[in-house]
């Protein structure tokens, strides 16, 4: 996931607004106590999500894949006063961990956690979303995109994380595994979809930014 030389990464982070104390604590404790900490958005990506949220001032945000709640807090920063972020995850073991940090933030009241399978829960959502962040199992990226597309307003933004998949997208020898194949297929699906405009940003492990026409 680290494509830049470490010194350039450190320079970029040093010239990026810092995490809040709460986010820094959540970052540190996720890495110390939770399995697969690379799933955490972290400082640089978190500030990108926050910046985009502030630029859009969304009223409704959907996050698919909660993990320990870091990205939810970042995305919630730019919500309107009556805004709401719905975040979906099937891992009940991390729910209390994430909630313990949300409860320490005034943004916690704007975060609505839904426990369950995203493919089952998304069709039940009776909302029109301004911003969607897809950061769950990569094999279902295309499914999640299809399920949420009609729930996004025209001009709304969809973000899909890990679309460079640690560089495997350009290594044919490694493209035979199911996850890499799914990421490649998703990227091509978006590129060929006339209903959207998209840009693949080499931020951390790659973020596909998609605007619904």
56-93: pLDDT as tens digits: 999 999 999 999 999 999 999 999 999 999 999 999 99
| Residue 1 counted as domain residue | no
Question: Does the structure show a pLDDT above 80 at 174?
Answer: no
pLDDT confidence band for 175 (50 / 70 / 90): low
Looking at residue 3, its pLDDT comes to 73
pTM for this entry: 0.95
pLDDT confidence band for 171 (50 / 70 / 90): confident
Q: Is 132 left (phi over 0), alpha (psi -120 to 50) or beta?
A: beta
| Residue 10 counted as domain residue | yes
| Residue 147 counted as domain residue | yes
Question: Does the structure show a pLDDT above 70 at 182?
Answer: yes
| Residue 208 counted as domain residue | yes
Looking at residue 35, its pLDDT comes to 87
Beta strands in the chain (DSSP E): 60-64, 84-89, 111-115, 129-134, 152-161, 196-201, 207-212
Contacts of 97 (CB under 8 A, 6+ apart): 34, 68, 69
In contact, 95 and 83? CB cutoff 8 Å: no
| Residue 75 counted as domain residue | yes
Question: Please, where are the H alpha helices in 15-136?
Answer: 21-33, 42-56, 70-76, 95-102, 118-121
Q: What is the mean pLDDT of residues 171-192?
A: 88
| Residue 12 counted as domain residue | yes
| Residue 175 counted as domain residue | yes
Q: What is the mean pLDDT of residues 8-34?
A: 95
The CATH number of whichever domain residue 116 belongs to comes to 3.40.50.150
- Structurally, the chain folds into a number of domains equal to 1
Which range of residues forms the domain containing residue 108?
A: 6-212
Q: What is the mean pLDDT of residues 100-122?
A: 98
| Bridge partners for 88 per DSSP | 64, 114
Looking at residue 173, its pLDDT comes to 67
| Residue 78 counted as domain residue | yes
Q: What is the mean pLDDT of residues 130-140?
A: 97
Contacts of 103 (CB under 8 A, 6+ apart): none
């Amino acid at each position: 996931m680290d494509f830049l030389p470490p010194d350039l990464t450190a320079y970029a982070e040093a010239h990026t607004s810092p995490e809040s104390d709460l986010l820094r604590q959540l970052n540190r404790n996720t890495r110390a106590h939770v399995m697969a900490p690379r799933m955490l958005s972290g400082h640089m990506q978190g500030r990108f999500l926050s910046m985009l949220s502030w630029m859009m001032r969304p009223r409704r945000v959907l996050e698919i894949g909660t993990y320990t709640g870091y990205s939810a807090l970042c995305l919630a920063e730019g919500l309107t006063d009556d805004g709401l972020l719905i975040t979906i995850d099937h891992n009940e073991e991390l729910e209390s961990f994430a909630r313990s940090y949300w409860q320490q933030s005034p943004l916690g009241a704007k975060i609505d956690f839904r426990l369950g399978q995203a493919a089952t829960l998304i069709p039940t959502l009776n909302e029109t979303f301004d911003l969607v962040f897809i950061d769950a199992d990569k094999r279902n990226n295309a499914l999640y995109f299809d399920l949420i597309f009609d729930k996004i307003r025209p001009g709304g933004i969809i973000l899909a994380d890990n679309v460079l998949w640690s560089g495997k997208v350009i290594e044919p020898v490694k493209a035979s595994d199911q996850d890499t194949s799914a990421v490649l297929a998703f990227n091509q699906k978006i590129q060929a979809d006339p209903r959207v405009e998209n840009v693949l940003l080499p931020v951390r492990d790659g973020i596909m930014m998609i605007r619904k026409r």
